């Protein structure tokens, strides 16, 4: 499966937050949120600090079981 955010696809901050909340609910991550201009994804073993679009891709992959 291909994962990408097309440059023409508008970025939706609400969708990013909803994906993060769903990942927490499924116990895939322990926390998430904006940290300055980056988006932080916390797991039991690491803290990822990604650009928001990269974070959205990562969460989509995680929720689909590809991470």
Mind giving me the DSSP string for 12-23? -HHHHHHHHHHH
Neighbours of 31 (CB within 10 A): 12
**Could you tell me the residue ranges of all domains in the chain?**
13-63
Selected residue with higher pLDDT from 47 and 13:
47
CA–CA distances in Å: residue 34 to residues 2, 51, 65:
26, 10, 23
pLDDT in tens, 9-45: 667 889 999 999 999 999 999 999 999 889 999 999 9
């Amino acid at each position: 499966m291909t994962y990408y955010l097309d440059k023409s696809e508008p970025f939706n901050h609400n969708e990013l937050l909803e994906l993060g909340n769903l990942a927490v609910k499924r116990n895939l991550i322990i926390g998430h949120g904006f940290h300055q201009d980056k988006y932080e994804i916390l797991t039991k073993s690491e803290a990822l600090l990604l650009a928001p679009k990269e974070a959205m891709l990562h969460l989509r992959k995680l929720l689909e079981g590809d991470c």
